[in-house]
Structure 1
Amino acid sequence: MSKHARILTLPNIITLIRVATIPVLVVVFYLPFKWSDVLASALFLAAGLTDWLDGYLARKLNQTSPFGAFLDPVADKLIVAVALVMLVQVHATIWMVVPAMVIISREITVSALREWMAELGQRSKVAVSSMGKIKTVAQMVAITMLLGLKPAHMVSGSVEMTALLWLAYACLYVATALTLWSMLRYLRAAAPQFRAAPRRRP
């Protein structure tokens, strides 16, 4: 089997499609139509579901690969970061800016931490935990709802829309709290390496 064949497995193709969805999501979100927010929300939700699907297929078909292990988390972080940046613009309040800042900062910090721990051969100590998966679900639910609730397109005084907006923010803040908690756990697991004596380079 060629190298290209090993890379272009079905799970990896699905992940690549998720990456390709990002510019489409941005364009759809800014279309000057009332239904653009609902379509953007549906696209983000579909992308989130493919995150589960590609992992399931990789295990089911025994098609796990180093390329897939690299690309899958990158795809997730890219689409979440882009969605949060767009939401900060349309939900331009501190209540949106703070969780967006925390979530994006955490992803950068943990990614750097995992790379550093991998260089030390301690990657398993900062592997994804069950808490991280719960955080991801809450985050996806919150962003999906917020993308579909542009303030400019919401019905003024609608009790249903207001309730949905509050629910979306509740999910976002649950995700933010879990984000901080999981980051602190990762940092605590890596703390012995921070205190270790420096190693000499060959």
Structure 2
Amino acid sequence: MPAHSPILNLPNILTLIRVATIPVLVAAFYLPFKGSNMVAAVLFLAAGLTDWLDGYLARKLGQTSPFGAFLDPVADKLIVAVALLMLVQQHATLWLTAPAMVIVCREITVSALREWMAELGLRAKVAVSAIGKIKTVTQMVAITLLLAVQPGYDIAGGMLMTPILWLSYLCLYVAMLLTLWSMFLYLKAAAPQFRRSRPRP
């Protein structure tokens, strides 16, 4: 009988902690105390680092599991989507809403694509690419900076763009472009299956 990694191994516990961080992140973001934005940024950054750590530990300790393979991307998408929703409300500008919308829509599309390819036994065809990993890092930097810096406004109600905000917006748009490019690569890999004729159930 092959050995099975227990569900509550160290990598999966770290992933569950990342999920449990989401309500704490939301509370820190909205509670009216000094430095709440920095606390939210640190929580998001820590969650991003545990994403790398749990994957590393799973490989190093030989504790990969079907549960971990399911939960890890779900945790990532949940915390990113929640953070982007909060930032869209705070910034209330098309320049942040547009890339946030693209990123969230891409995640839904690629998740559906991976599920469909898995049903065909071709999950490896849409595995995470190097571009996807770079996108994840760029996205993490952008969201962390945006959470850390509360936007200021002038008398007319226009947002005051500080150098940090310019940098964070730049990183977010780079992440959006990488998001679209990686989605194109996934769709290209799956394209032969779209053209195949399959009997309807």
* TM-score between the two structures when normalised by the length of structure 2: 0.92
Distance change (3 Å), C-alpha of 1:39 and 1:4: farther
Contact 2:5/2:63, CA 8 A, preserved across alignment:
no
Alpha-carbon deviations, 1:106-142, whole Å to 9, x = none? 0000000000011111111110000000000000000
Contact 2:114/2:123, CA 8 A, preserved across alignment:
yes
- Per-residue deviation, 1:149: 1.1
Residue 36 of structure 1 pairs with residue 21 of structure 2: no
The aligned residue for residue 81 of structure 1 is: 81
**Whole-Å separation in 1 of the counterparts to 2:174 and 2:10:** 33
Unaligned runs of 5+ in 1: 154-158
The aligned residue for residue 55 of structure 2 is: 55
Contact 2:5/2:65, CA 8 A, preserved across alignment:
no
**Whole-Å separation in 2 of the counterparts to 1:75 and 1:137:** 15
The aligned residue for residue 124 of structure 1 is: 124
The aligned residue for residue 104 of structure 1 is: 104
Specify which structure has the higher proportion of helix: 1
**Whole-Å separation in 1 of the counterparts to 2:113 and 2:170:** 28
The aligned residue for residue 66 of structure 1 is: 66
Distance change (3 Å), C-alpha of 1:169 and 1:178: same
Alpha-carbon deviations, 1:138-181, whole Å to 9, x = none? 0000000000112159xxxxx9x700100000100000000000
The aligned residue for residue 26 of structure 1 is: 26
Unaligned runs of 5+ in 2: 154-159
- Per-residue deviation, 1:34: 2.8
**Whole-Å separation in 2 of the counterparts to 1:107 and 1:191:** 18
The aligned residue for residue 173 of structure 2 is: 173
Q: After TM superposition, where is structure 1 displaced by more than 3 Å over at least 4 residues in a row?
A: none
- Per-residue deviation, 1:199: 3.1
The aligned residue for residue 156 of structure 1 is: none
Secondary structure of the residue aligned to 1:6 is coil
RMSD of equivalent CA atoms: 2.0
Secondary structure of the residue aligned to 2:118 is helix
Over the matched positions of the two proteins, sequence identity in percent amounts to 75
- Per-residue deviation, 1:188: 1.1
* TM-score between the two structures when normalised by the length of structure 1: 0.92
Alignment size in residue pairs:
194
**Whole-Å separation in 1 of the counterparts to 2:114 and 2:4:** 27
Alpha-carbon deviations, 1:55-107, whole Å to 9, x = none? 11111111110000100000000000000000000011000000000000000
Amino acid at match of 2:38: V
**Whole-Å separation in 2 of the counterparts to 1:25 and 1:86:** 10
- Per-residue deviation, 1:5: 7.5
**Whole-Å separation in 1 of the counterparts to 2:190 and 2:107:** 16
Amino acid at match of 1:6: P
**Whole-Å separation in 1 of the counterparts to 2:87 and 2:29:** 10
**Whole-Å separation in 1 of the counterparts to 2:4 and 2:121:** 28
